[in-house]
Amino acid sequence: MINDKNSQKIVDIIQNWARKHSIWVLGYGTGCGSIEIPPTMTSRYDAERLGVRGAATPRQADVLLITGYLTTKTLKRVIRVYEQMQDPKYVIGFGSCTINGGMYYDSYNTIKVLDKYLPVDVYINGCMPRPEAVLSGFGQLQKRIAEGRADGAKQYKENLEWYRANQKKIIPNWVMPEYNW
């Protein structure tokens, strides 16, 4: 009775409800987009009322927030951070730079499409996206979590070879520890 499908469905609903209302964000703030995070968190827009809270380390975080462009140098660190996070984990691509390169579309040392290297669950468009847009992005993520469609981490595991091949094209000296996440 405990292991049948219906009771598992009920457990999933409860767990997804908890995941939806408690989003701990690890902001990877190297790009200019991170300037929009303080107003989102502080008194004017107050993301904490939705359960969105900052996390100190990747082990505790649920969401990796990539704010803006990623250089080829920082990509390696982002991959390490993402692989240290615990399941279930989500990635939000923040700003135009993560979608198609944005204003850095012809730069020689930034990556253009984030989705080739990490599984992005939600994109927030704009340059810069205002705090309203950021909150709407978190709302989209909450909706996807509640429906059980935010399964980027699962896709990453299934298509690991494809992701690794793309990552190794950018990072020539691949000296990374093996993770048993």
Per the CB < 8 A criterion, the answer to whether 138 and 23 are in contact is yes
Does 147 help bind another protein (rule: CB under 8 A)? no
- Specify whether the backbone of 89 is left (phi greater than 0), alpha (psi in -120 to 50) or beta: beta
H or E stretch covering 91 = strand 90-94
Q: State which of residues 8, 60, 155, 159 lies at the interface with another protein (CB under 8 A).
A: 60
Binding residues for another protein, total number by CB under 8 A: 26
Does 144 help bind another protein (rule: CB under 8 A)? no
Does 151 help bind another protein (rule: CB under 8 A)? no
Minimum CB–partner distance for residue 170 and another protein (Å):
26
Report cis status (omega within 30 of 0) of the bond before 128.
yes
Quote the CA–CA distance of 150 and 13 in Å, as a whole number.
14
Quote the CA–CA distance of 86 and 55 in Å, as a whole number.
13
- Of 21 and 73, nearer to another protein (C-beta) is 21
Q: State which of residues 7, 13, 14, 165 lies at the interface with another protein (CB under 8 A).
A: 14
For another protein, the binding residues (CB under 8 A) are 14-15, 18-19, 21-22, 42-43, 46, 48-49, 51, 53-54, 56-57, 59-62, 85-88, 180-181
